[in-house]
């Protein structure tokens, strides 16, 4: 996927220029690809094509590089080209060309793709009866960043939270409620009236019940059998169970909705496994008659192994020997719904990497079943786990699972403490101070996660996350706030941003070059489904800006054109960091 952007893609322009030169020499124009320099001390950009082309043409690479330079010819855009090492061509823009490029930049940094697709991002995935905990954090913030990137790229995007609400644990909860409160009307087969509107259990009740009943089912075959039976009856529509299950879903959604709101994450669809229940029967019927699904030890399975497999792929179980469905079943049916009803052609699953095999099976089954035609892409965007300092999945000091809400409170409190201790924002209203603390805390949390490559298992160290120094979310907010502040003060003095003039020194030039990198970074981030590239770039942008800020006193600059130019650079930097942080789901306060 390539980005067509209103930001002039300097690399595309240069690659065109060098591609033409290679072509003129009768060589592959692909060799003309220009990249950012690996050696910023030597050049801004480089072209390595002479090396590979020389090999293919049986020529000396440095001589060929010289031919390419001659073929490019003189241009006002470039400083004289030089050859380095074995045959690298080093490229620098003239300062005038650099300023010209910046003056072409649209501050919305539009990156709309030429080929919009109908995308669905499946992430979040909370389970009924469980409060959101740290385990949901990664799916939520990586998924949210994915949806923001996809939307920014101009795709038609829908998001679905895909709640885990239809599996075995539902039956377990039902039997646990029955065991404790057998008198409830939900368990009375003879009852035929309306069920109460008020839930007999709270989310806290369910949270406490679930581990208890799950443990019992593990040890006691009879209990497990009862839970299986309850799950089956729920799925088959027993009215009392359905009514009780609705309560479970509702109390869970209220709590989880608050957590997502707190994180600033929204979904277009709040669907779940149960949403596609009515599809499952017909789907299975169709698969049986088509010969895709078959019996295996009483269970209904789809064989998904393929001849070229390097590993053993077990068949996908569509329904258990007792007739109950699994999440595999609803996953296949959900693909069908997303294709047939929502007309999606790219479906991303932002789910724990440990489910890779599951998705491999589901995707293959969906292909075999004809549920996902060849034009529909299915992709598992996996991620690693968040561990503690000892490399174990993150737990509280007491060994329990840390609730997401408590985690957010911890980082917000730390930010608030930092605010107080540093004497910052001392004269702001209490409400604003709290808002700042919340944003700083969330920025620390989200940036700390998104700056890691999604596949790595990373260590969550609260002390490190709340130190707020160096490469952290708060550093980025701080940089942005200083940009806002300087623009505000400029406005008060009647100073306005103007046209960019050629840079006067390295700090100036580096900031300009940094801004021009955006389209390439975005392209890489979205095509690799890797928000960490944006996170890294956001840090580099602010760091480059900070050096610029330290070395130029903008508001006291006497040269009006230079001052206007610098103010424009500040405004562009602010627009860009705001965009980058928005793509990461991070909000910037007005001041801090």
HSE of 102, CA atoms in CB hemisphere, 13 A: 31
Which range, of 110-118, 147-155, 186-194, 418-426, touches RNA by CB under 7 A?
Answer: 418-426
In angstroms, what CA-CA distances link 324 with 219, 296, 298, 317, 543?
21, 15, 12, 11, 56
Look up residue 47 and give its two tokens: 């072209």
Q: If binding is defined by CB under 7 A, does position 299 make contact with RNA?
A: yes
Choice between 157 and 338, CB closer to RNA: 338
Cross-strand partners of 45: 36, 91
Q: Output the smallest distance, CB 191 to RNA, in A.
A: 27
Q: If binding is defined by CB under 7 A, does position 461 make contact with RNA?
A: yes
What 8-state DSSP symbol labels residue 327? H
Choice between 127 and 207, CB closer to RNA: 127
Query: Cα–Cα–Cα angle for 185, 191, 194, nearest 5°?
Result: 75
Q: If binding is defined by CB under 7 A, does position 288 make contact with RNA?
A: no
Query: Which member of 186, 210, 447, 468 binds RNA (CB under 7 A)?
Result: 468
Query: Which member of 117, 358, 367, 405 binds RNA (CB under 7 A)?
Result: 358
Query: Which member of 75, 80, 456, 561 binds RNA (CB under 7 A)?
Result: 456
Query: Which member of 553, 559, 560, 561 binds RNA (CB under 7 A)?
Result: 553
Residues 32-51 that bind RNA (CB under 7 A): 35-39, 41-43, 46, 48, 51
Choice between 242 and 547, CB closer to RNA: 547
Choice between 81 and 184, CB closer to RNA: 81
Question: Do 19 and 33 form a contact (C-beta atoms < 8 A)?
Answer: yes
Q: If binding is defined by CB under 7 A, does position 222 make contact with RNA?
A: no
In angstroms, what CA-CA distances link 251 with 170, 203, 233, 265, 268?
14, 6, 22, 19, 20
Which range, of 99-107, 190-198, 204-212, 516-524, touches RNA by CB under 7 A?
Answer: 516-524
Query: Which member of 159, 334, 532, 564 binds RNA (CB under 7 A)?
Result: 532
Query: Which member of 10, 292, 419, 511 binds RNA (CB under 7 A)?
Result: 419
Q: What is the total residue count of the chain?
A: 592
Query: Which member of 204, 278, 469, 505 binds RNA (CB under 7 A)?
Result: 469
Query: Which member of 8, 154, 200, 384 binds RNA (CB under 7 A)?
Result: 384
In angstroms, what CA-CA distances link 417 with 236, 427, 586?
53, 15, 20
Choice between 188 and 505, CB closer to RNA: 505
Q: If binding is defined by CB under 7 A, does position 474 make contact with RNA?
A: yes
Give the 3-state secondary structure of residue 129: coil
Which range, of 175-183, 364-372, 533-541, 573-581, touches RNA by CB under 7 A?
Answer: 533-541
In angstroms, what CA-CA distances link 54 with 24, 28, 71, 96?
15, 11, 15, 33
Q: If binding is defined by CB under 7 A, does position 211 make contact with RNA?
A: no
Q: If binding is defined by CB under 7 A, does position 353 make contact with RNA?
A: yes
**Angle between the 134-152 and 404-422 helix axes, to the nearest 10 degrees?**
80
Q: If binding is defined by CB under 7 A, does position 108 make contact with RNA?
A: no
Q: If binding is defined by CB under 7 A, does position 475 make contact with RNA?
A: yes
Question: In what order do the strands lie in the sheet containing 82-84?
Answer: 34-36, 45-47, 88-91, 82-84
Residues 431-450 that bind RNA (CB under 7 A): 436, 440
Question: Do 548 and 542 form a contact (C-beta atoms < 8 A)?
Answer: no
Q: If binding is defined by CB under 7 A, does position 470 make contact with RNA?
A: yes
Residue span 322-341 as binding mask against RNA, x where in contact by CB under 7 A, dash where not: x-x-xxx-------------
Residues 150-179 that bind RNA (CB under 7 A): 164, 166-169
Count of residues touching RNA (by CB under 7 A): 108
Buried/exposed 133-152: b ≥16 CB within 10 Å, e otherwise = bbbbbbbbbbbbbbbbbbeb
Considering only CA atoms, which of 405, 386, 396 is closest in space to residue 452?
Answer: 386
Query: Which member of 80, 196, 314, 370 binds RNA (CB under 7 A)?
Result: 314
Query: Which member of 459, 462, 504, 562 binds RNA (CB under 7 A)?
Result: 459
Q: Output the smallest distance, CB 538 to RNA, in A.
A: 12
Choice between 294 and 396, CB closer to RNA: 294
Query: Which member of 1, 212, 254, 357 binds RNA (CB under 7 A)?
Result: 357
Q: If binding is defined by CB under 7 A, does position 80 make contact with RNA?
A: no
Q: If binding is defined by CB under 7 A, does position 252 make contact with RNA?
A: no
Which range, of 174-182, 255-263, 312-320, 497-505, touches RNA by CB under 7 A?
Answer: 312-320
Going 243 to 249 to 253 to 256, the CA torsion angle's sign is positive
Query: Which member of 112, 246, 321, 340 binds RNA (CB under 7 A)?
Result: 321
Query: Which member of 64, 69, 481, 588 binds RNA (CB under 7 A)?
Result: 481
Q: Output the smallest distance, CB 397 to RNA, in A.
A: 18
Choice between 15 and 184, CB closer to RNA: 15
Q: Output the smallest distance, CB 118 to RNA, in A.
A: 26
Number of Cβ atoms within 10 Å of the Cβ of 4: 14
Q: If binding is defined by CB under 7 A, does position 536 make contact with RNA?
A: yes
Q: What are phi and psi of 317, to 5 degrees?
A: -90, 120
SS (H, E, C) 366-405: HHHCCCCCCCCEEEEECCCCEECCCCCECCCCCCCCCEHH
Query: Which member of 467, 504, 582, 587 binds RNA (CB under 7 A)?
Result: 467
Residues 46-75 that bind RNA (CB under 7 A): 46, 48, 51-52, 55
Q: If binding is defined by CB under 7 A, does position 453 make contact with RNA?
A: yes
Furthest CA-CA distance within the chain: 93
Considering only CA atoms, which of 170, 168, 196, 171 is closest in space to residue 183?
Answer: 196
Element (H, E) at 118: strand 118-122
Q: What's the CA gap between 498 and 563, in Å, rounded?
A: 8
Query: Which string of DSSP letters, residue by residue, matches 39-108?
Result: -TTT-SEEE-HHHHHHHHHT--HHHHHHHHHHHH---TTBPPPEEETTTEEEE-B-HHHHHHHHHH--TT
Residues 181-210 that bind RNA (CB under 7 A): none
Q: Tokens 């697709």 — which residue?
A: 117
Residues 134-153 that bind RNA (CB under 7 A): none
Query: Which member of 86, 211, 239, 281 binds RNA (CB under 7 A)?
Result: 86
Q: If binding is defined by CB under 7 A, does position 485 make contact with RNA?
A: yes
């Amino acid at each position: 996927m390539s980005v067509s952007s209103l930001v002039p893609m300097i690399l595309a322009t240069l690659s065109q220029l060098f591609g033409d030169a290679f072509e003129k020499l009768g060589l592959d124009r692909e060799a003309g690809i220009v990249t950012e320099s690996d050696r910023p001390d030597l050049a801004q950009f480089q072209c390595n094509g002479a090396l590979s082309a020389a090999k293919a043409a049986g020529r000396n690479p440095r001589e060929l590089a010289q031919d390419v330079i001659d073929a490019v010819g003189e241009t006002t855009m470039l400083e004289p080209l030089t050859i380095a090492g074995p045959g690298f061509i080093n490229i620098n823009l003239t300062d005038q060309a650099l300023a010209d490029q910046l003056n072409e930049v649209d501050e919305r940094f539009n990156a709309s793709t030429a080929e919009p697709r109908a995308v669905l991002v499946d992430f979040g995935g909370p389970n009924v009866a469980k409060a959101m905990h740290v385990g949901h954090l990664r799916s939520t913030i990586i998924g949210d960043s994915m949806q923001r990137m996809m939307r920014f790229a101009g795709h038609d995007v829908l998001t679905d939270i895909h709640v885990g609400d239809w599996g075995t644990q539902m039956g377990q909860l039902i039997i646990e409620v029955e065991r404790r409160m057998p008198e409830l009307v939900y368990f009375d087969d003879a009852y035929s009236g309306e069920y109460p509107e008020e839930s007999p259990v709270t989310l806290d009740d369910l949270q406490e019940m679930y581990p208890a009943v799950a443990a019992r089912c593990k040890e006691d075959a009879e209990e497990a059998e009862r839970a299986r039976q309850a799950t089956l009856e729920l799925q088959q529509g027993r009215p009392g169970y359905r009514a009780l299950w609705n309560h479970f879903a509702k109390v869970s959604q209220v709590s989880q909705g608050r957590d997502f709101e707190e994180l600033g994450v929204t979904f277009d669809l709040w669907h779940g496994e149960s949403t596609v229940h009515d599809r499952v029967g017909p789907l299975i019927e169709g698969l049986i008659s088509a010969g895709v699904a078959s019996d295996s030890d009483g269970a209904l399975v789809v064989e998904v192994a393929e001849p070229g497999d390097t590993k053993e792929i077990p068949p996908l179980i569509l329904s258990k020997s007792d007739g109950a469905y699994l999440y595999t079943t609803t996953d296949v049916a959900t693909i069908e719904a997303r294709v047939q009803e929502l007309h999606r052609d790219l479906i991303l699953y932002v789910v724990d990497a440990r489910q890779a095999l599951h998705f491999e099976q589901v995707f293959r089954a969906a292909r075999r079943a004809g549920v996902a035609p060849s034009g529909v892409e299915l992709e598992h965007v996996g991620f690693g786990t968040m561990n503690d300092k000892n490399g174990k999945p993150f737990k509280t000091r007491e060994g329990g699972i840390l609730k997401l809400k408590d985690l957010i409170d911890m980082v917000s409190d730390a930010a608030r403490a930092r605010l107080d201790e540093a004497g910052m924002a001392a004269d702001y209203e209490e409400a604003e101070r709290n808002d700042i603390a919340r944003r700083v805390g969330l920025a620390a949390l989200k940036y700390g996660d998104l700056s890691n490559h999604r596949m790595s298992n990373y260590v969550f160290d609260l002390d490190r996350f709340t130190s707020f120094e160096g490469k952290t979310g708060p550093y980025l907010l701080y940089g942005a706030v200083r940009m806002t502040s300087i623009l505000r003060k400029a406005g008060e003095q009647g100073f306005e941003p103007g046209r960019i003039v050629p840079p006067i020194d390295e700090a100036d030039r580096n900031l300009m070059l940094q801004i021009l990198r955006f389209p390439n970074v975005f392209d890489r981030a979205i095509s690799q489904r890797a928000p960490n590239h944006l996170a890294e770039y956001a840090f580099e942008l602010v760091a480059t800006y900070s050096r610029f800020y330290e070395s130029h006193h903008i508001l006291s600059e006497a040269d009006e054109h230079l001052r206007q130019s610098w103010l424009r650079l500040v405004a562009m930097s602010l627009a860009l960091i705001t965009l980058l942080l928005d793509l990461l789901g991070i909000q910037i306060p007005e001041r801090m």
